[in-house]
Amino acid sequence: MSVRGCVRQCVANEDTISFEHVFARTLFGAVLRMMGQDRQLWAGMLAHLKTQHPALCRQWFEEIELVGVDAGLVRLRALTTIHRDYLQRQCLDAFNDAARTVSKLLITVAFFGPDDVIPRSTRRADGHSAEIKPSVLDGASPTSNGVHPLTERGARAVTHAGADAGRPASAPAPMWSLTSSPSRPDTDSLVINPDYSFDHFVVGPSNRLAHAAAVAVGNSPGRAYNPFFVHGGVGLGKTHLLQAICLKIKEFQPETRIYYTSCEGFMTQFMDAVQAGEMSAFRHRFRDVDLLVIDDIHFLAKRERTQEEFFHTFNSLYQSHKQIILSSDAAPEEIPDLEDRLISRFKWGLVTKVEPPCYETRVAILKNKARIRGIVLADDVACYVAGKIDSNIRELEGVITKLQVLSSVEQRPVDMALATSALGEPPPRTDKQVQIQTIIAAVTDFYGVKITDLQSKRRQRSIALPRQVCMYLARRFTRFSLEEIGGYFGGRDHTTVMHAVRTVEERRELDNDFAQVVVSLESQIKTEPA
């Protein structure tokens, strides 16, 4: 009996269900099973990344689209070309590790942008791959004969193979190769981090002017401030601002030609071009752009030949009304051995400085960095870390990374105990539980105020200072959250408590008499019975 006859005998109602219906339903079921397996692989890869590569994980990984798995290739579509390039250059090894660990197969991950054409294939009955026409989502339309222009050759090969079905089938060539991969970013340029957008930049008193100027440049490149020169200490957000401008321009003007590199990269390429006699190509690379961004331009110091070349590059771009953005650890006039003509040109546009962030800004930065990584960071933990790390943002981000890794390794939530461990400090003593009423009683007795005064809305100094001391001591000796502490003092919010803690800490460092008062109150609280 033929295969078709067997299928018909298995169908209960042979009169109403044709062989084509059965075949279609069987094929549809197979496709669903394959899709389910692909989704399981992708879910397993995400779980593996979170446990084995926690510092690399970002919330937007959840928004990456799994296009399909075939011919030993896991095709993933990123949100934007910026995301695609970042994944390709920063995350490929980790994603390959996740794919191979979960699948237990030697497979590879490929990243595509939203408009990249992705060759698709399906499985034939013999288990080999046969190319099919990409859908409209692949970014191109089929020709009038129904064959996609990029796959017409492959379609003819499949047709020819079908005509010679009597011959033994050989393994087909993979449908993806390095030559057909999506366009890659220039390897000489720096990778742009999708996290460094204006939406993720925390604005505070220390960086408000620099942020406003950067936004203006992003909205009107070449017209707002040209050149735009931002300077400040290490790890204060200069690179974030530079990349935020690039991301904004790429979002609204995707055709803009951007070259983003470091001063070291510029110098290295210049020396290589001189040695190879390829100065023409070097100049085209840096001058045929709409936006040139150079980080750490202060490394031009004492580089006379490089300064000469950059001088002419600067003039060429400026005269063509192309945007120039520079960052440095020092102001132009403070960069040693920098030619006067470069100093004057750096000052043609806007020179702005970023300062170290204040306490409140550091707390906001910590919570923002944690949110990007999908970490739930309690207010008291953020306040504790911000009080301990006051040097630069890079160290704050390092603490977040350490907390994320510790939380993943030890399978613990990010709480105060984990934070003290991450900062290398012993956990707070728990042999005695201090009551907040004990703190309030000690403070009101010392300052001669009433509890109702502390809970009132009065802001006189004679009331505000004891209230701040109470909040500081409650934060130090109790497990209450910032909101709970504020609730004891007239329902004040967590920002008021944060401000009180910072005020008392700063005054302790500057006023010895006040520091002795706080120490005396701390000793009294410790000796009071629980």
Report the 3 state secondary structure along 423-438. Answer: CCCCCCCCCCCCCHHH
Within 10 angstroms of residue 497's Cβ, the number of other Cβ atoms is: 28
50 occurs within a structural domain: yes
Asked if residue 403 and residue 367 are part of one domain, the reply reads yes
Mean pLDDT value across residues 388-400: 85
pLDDT-wise least confident of 207-211, 332-336, 389-393: 389-393
Statement to judge: residues 344 and 220 lie in one domain: yes
Q: Quick one: 459 and 410 in the same domain?
A: no
Question: Rounded to 5 degrees, what angle do the CA atoms 57, 252, 189 make?
Answer: 55
pLDDT over threshold 70, residue 477: yes
Mark whether 209 and 343 lie in a shared domain: yes
Residue 330 resides in a domain: yes
CA atoms in the 13 A half-sphere facing the CB of 479: 9
pLDDT surpassing 70 at residue 14 = no
Are residues 330 and 217 part of one domain?
A: yes
Residue 150 lies in a domain: no
Q: What is the CATH number of the domain that holds 335?
A: 3.40.50.300
Residues 238, 337, single domain; the answer is: yes
Q: For the chain, what's the residue count?
A: 530
Q: Over the stretch 196-254, which tens digit does the pLDDT of each residue have? A: 999 999 998 889 999 999 999 999 998 889 999 999 998 899 999 999 999 999 988 88
Q: Work out how many domains the chain is built from and give that number.
A: 4
394 found inside a domain: yes
Confidence tier at 257 by pLDDT (50, 70, 90): very high
Instruction: Let me know if residue 114 belongs to a domain.
Output: yes
Of 187 and 474, more confident: 474
Are 304 and 407 in a shared domain? no
For residue 402, tell me if it sits in a domain: yes
Question: Are 393 and 510 members of one domain?
Answer: no
The mean pLDDT value for 313-320 works out to 95
For residue 15, tell me if it sits in a domain. Answer: no
- The model scores a pTM over 0.95: no
Domain end marker among 122, 137, 154: 122
CA gap 209, 485 in Å, rounded: 34
> Is residue 334 domain-shared with residue 380, that is, in the same domain?
no
Query: In which domain, by residue range, is 208 found?
Result: 198-354
In this structure, the answer to whether residues 390 and 321 fall within a common structural domain is no
How far apart CA 86 and CA 111 sit, in angstroms, is 10
Q: Is residue 163 part of a domain?
A: no
pLDDT band at 273 (very low <50, low <70, confident <90, very high): very high
Which of 102, 122, 142 is the last residue in one of the domains?
122
Contact of 349 with 229, CB cutoff 8 Å: yes
In the chain, % of residues over pLDDT 90: 37
Dump pLDDT digits (tens) for 238-249.
Answer: 999 999 999 999
Same domain, 99 and 219: no
For residue 34, pLDDT beyond 70:
no
Both 455 and 319 in a single domain?
no
pLDDT of residue 425: 60
